Structure 1
Amino acid sequence: MTSDVPLVEHGPARSVRLPDAVGRALVASRILEEAGPDPYEPGTWRLRAGSRVGAVTLTVPGGEAVTVRITPKVPIPRLLFLLGYSSDPRSWRDGVVDVAAHDDLLPAFAHAVERQIDRALRQGLLQGYRTAEESSPVVRGRFREAEQIRRRFGMPVPAEVTYDEFTTDITENRILRTAVDRLLRLPAVPRTVRTRLMHQRSRLADVTPLPRGHTRPAWRPTRLNTRYHAALHLAETVLRGASAEHLPGQLRMDGFLFDMNSVYEDFVCTALREAMRAFGGRSVLQARNIHMDEGESIRLRPDFVWYGETDTPAIVADAKYKTRRKRGFPNEDLYQLLAYCTALGLPEGHLVYAKGNAPHTSHHVRHAGTILHQHAVELDQQPTGLLAEIDGLARHMLGSVPVERLP
């Protein structure tokens, strides 16, 4: 038996009748903004979604399952564009995201991933060299003397050798295979998409999946794997967003979630970086090695810093998807931005919110002369309009940069 619990991102709380084991598991998982027993109705749990969107299924011993579906406030094609553009701006700039007729996030995303993998594999599987180590009855490649002595006690055969093998079992294909396997395990993927994913897995049948729990191997964009780029970026999103774990009481949670805070932050910073390319300088996302004090004990990490002349900081910005107040912008965001401006020696700083929180505004800080700008970006528009708005925002930021700091 499976029951669905529909929620909306940052929507109002709902009272839902759930098995106690499932309710306790939702509390332990912390995937919701609010989860707890309803004090007025025994057996009912009060649930409210936060910034995480997607779907998770909690299965209790005996087969009963509850699926929690969290719908994003932005249209699904727009969300997938934000994800794709953040991963690979050049491949996704046209905004073409194939989601078919799926209304739910997880089926639409699974469909988009399958379509990109299909495009990547149409010319056949990419091949490359992989270093292999094995015991062989014949000597090939390089002889591993230390291993031969340790494992074979001086016996000549089998020989411990290492060699470079030209194969399809390379990192790029392994990432795609693991993402396909991951999507096939999710119960919310519809049959039509599941059938196509099975076809992709048959193409990748000779490829070894990545072991669960191990660090994901890195791949490097090259001319040879260009046709794989979009598929690999989406596949890595699958592996980052997947959640499968055992919760208290032997419950299993299996699903896929996006954190809209991270999605928005990654998009805004990537789009600002791309918009700044035409003006030279150097953009740094999630800047490190910035401290507020002389002793360098208080670390700061702005979302976006643009360096101009002689590699001097010229622009600092932070992306904020959702405010914590119903009206206006929260003061703590301004305090954080003021710390960034002070540490970097900048006269102005910028906060970039998703539109719908509050009007545009700016603040002149007393006795400091610092100006703190608060902007809002309209996400519910076509990709071309959205990128044009970010371009305009970048030009506005550049307009406040002192001439001596421009490249």
Structure 2
Amino acid sequence: MTPVVTLVEHAPARSFRLPDAAGRALVASRILEEAGPDPYEPGAWRLRAGSKVGAVALAVPGAESITVHITPKVPVARLLFLVGYSSNPRGWRDGSVDLADQDELLPALAHAVERQIDRALRQGLLQGYRTTEESSHVMRGRLREAEQIRHRFGMPLPVEVVFDEFTTDIAENRLLCAAVDRLLRLPGVPGAVRARLMHQRSRLADITPLVSGQAPPCWQPTRLNARYHSALHLAEAVLQGSSTEHLPGRLRMDGFLFDMNGVYEDFICKALREAMRTYGGRSALQARNIHMDEGESIRLRPDFVWYGDSGVPTIVADAKYKARRNRGFPNEDFYQMLAYCTALGLPEGHLVYAKGNTPHISHRVRHAGTVLHQHAIDLDQQSAGLLAEIDALARHMLHGAAMSPQGGAPSGRS
């Protein structure tokens, strides 16, 4: 029987009796925060999950494969809301898919993807034009003269042509097909959901599947593919979170993982950007043109920078998905934010943590006067309350910016 390891994100370490080959495979996979032999129990391995959540299967040569399930601390429905909102802030809301009976991440994700694909395909497969280049014995479209001369050496047939074909084999359907194929290969998808995924795959039978290692096709949201939007955003989340890797020692890892650090950071930045739209200006996520030194050799990348109507930076924030320590938040976070404020010439900066004992604390830096704010966002609440908390945070940031000597932020609009 395949060993199954079930862990909870950032929970205390636990001991599991595993074959040595399986334990070493977990160490090599680097999906856990801690993995090593238990010093007090022979034949056992001490394992602790970090910020990665999901399910993976490790194929161990000469031994049984091992399956690892890592459960997030936040409710699964909330995690899928964070992921969906980050992909499409105006498209995903609680209630889009009923997840009341799903309490594990992978089954819930597979269920959500299948339901959204079913809704997208109820009116039939979307069709569109696809540019095709091929060798043909019949002239159609346009002749590729350079390719004809290079490959055919003056021969009249076959001809190298390029033409636009009206077909269902377009990027949107290829993304949905790739997401279904991916979910069908993952461990832990319930039988009932797997059967419904197989049904969706049969509806996409004429779509060209992605080759292993091939980048997913790009698509653009338009009025014509509006019914596909929610399904496409979830499909992209599946393909971005999934991985098939060959590790040292002929190990093979196949699974699906979300990094909660990235999920939280993406959500906070996208939600702040949406909240700031009312006030004008513009937002920059992961700004790349900021340097700490005058010679511009030390690059800084704050998560969120808001530029007021005048075009100058007015607000800087960093999202930190870290558990609170007994003696406070990590000092290096404050050092980093102080560097951002100094480089941008701002009198205050904001660190946005997940949860915390108090919703807001501020610290004034000695001899500099810079004020460093730390905020705590409670993820364990309904989406409406969560977005309302982000809106309140945005107003707090704007009020502080308006009170600063630079001004530059609007003070009354809401």
Contact 1:328 1:358 in 2 (8 A): no
Contact 1:82 1:267 in 2 (8 A): yes
Q: How many residues align?
A: 407
CA distance in 2 between counterparts of 1:60 and 1:271 reads 42
CA distance in 2 between counterparts of 1:322 and 1:45 reads 25
CA distance in 2 between counterparts of 1:165 and 1:373 reads 56
5 Å matches for 1:3-402?
A: 3-61=3-61, 64-93=64-93, 96-323=96-323, 325-356=325-356, 360-402=360-402
Contact 1:329 1:357 in 2 (8 A): no
1:53 and 1:358, CA in 2 relative to 1: closer, same or farther beyond 3 A? farther
Contact 1:82 1:264 in 2 (8 A): yes
CA distance in 2 between counterparts of 1:351 and 1:327 reads 17
**Which moves more between the two structures, 54-63 or 77-86?**
54-63
> 2:91 aligns to what SS in structure 1?
helix
> 1:130 aligns to what SS in structure 2?
strand
Instruction: State the Cα deviation string for residues 201-237 of structure 1 (Å, max 9, x = none).
Output: 1111111122222333321111111111111111111
Contact 1:81 1:97 in 2 (8 A): no
With normalisation by structure 2, the TM-score equals: 0.95
CA distance in 2 between counterparts of 1:77 and 1:225 reads 26
Instruction: State the Cα deviation string for residues 20-45 of structure 1 (Å, max 9, x = none).
Output: 22211111111000011122323211
Contact 1:100 1:111 in 2 (8 A): no
CA distance in 2 between counterparts of 1:49 and 1:240 reads 20
Q: Please give the root-mean-square deviation of Cα atoms over the aligned residues, in Å.
A: 1.6
- Deviation of 1:357 after TM superposition, in Å, equals 5.9
CA distance in 2 between counterparts of 1:54 and 1:241 reads 9
- Deviation of 1:60 after TM superposition, in Å, equals 2.6
- Deviation of 1:154 after TM superposition, in Å, equals 1.4
- Deviation of 1:311 after TM superposition, in Å, equals 0.9
Question: Sequence identity of aligned pairs in percent?
Answer: 78
With normalisation by structure 1, the TM-score equals: 0.96
Instruction: State the Cα deviation string for residues 137-166 of structure 1 (Å, max 9, x = none).
Output: 111111122222232221111211111111
CA distance in 2 between counterparts of 1:223 and 1:288 reads 32
Amino acid paired to 1:49: A
CA distance in 1 between counterparts of 2:93 and 2:60 reads 43
- Deviation of 1:405 after TM superposition, in Å, equals 0.7
Contact 1:322 1:357 in 2 (8 A): no
Contact 1:286 1:304 in 2 (8 A): yes
**Which moves more between the two structures, 252-261 or 318-327?**
318-327
1:213 and 1:326, CA in 2 relative to 1: closer, same or farther beyond 3 A? farther
Amino acid paired to 2:282: R
- Deviation of 1:93 after TM superposition, in Å, equals 4.0
1:57 and 1:210, CA in 2 relative to 1: closer, same or farther beyond 3 A? same
CA distance in 2 between counterparts of 1:347 and 1:44 reads 53
- Deviation of 1:9 after TM superposition, in Å, equals 0.4
CA distance in 1 between counterparts of 2:94 and 2:11 reads 31
Amino acid paired to 2:356: G
CA distance in 1 between counterparts of 2:244 and 2:365 reads 47
Contact 1:100 1:108 in 2 (8 A): no
CA distance in 2 between counterparts of 1:260 and 1:327 reads 23
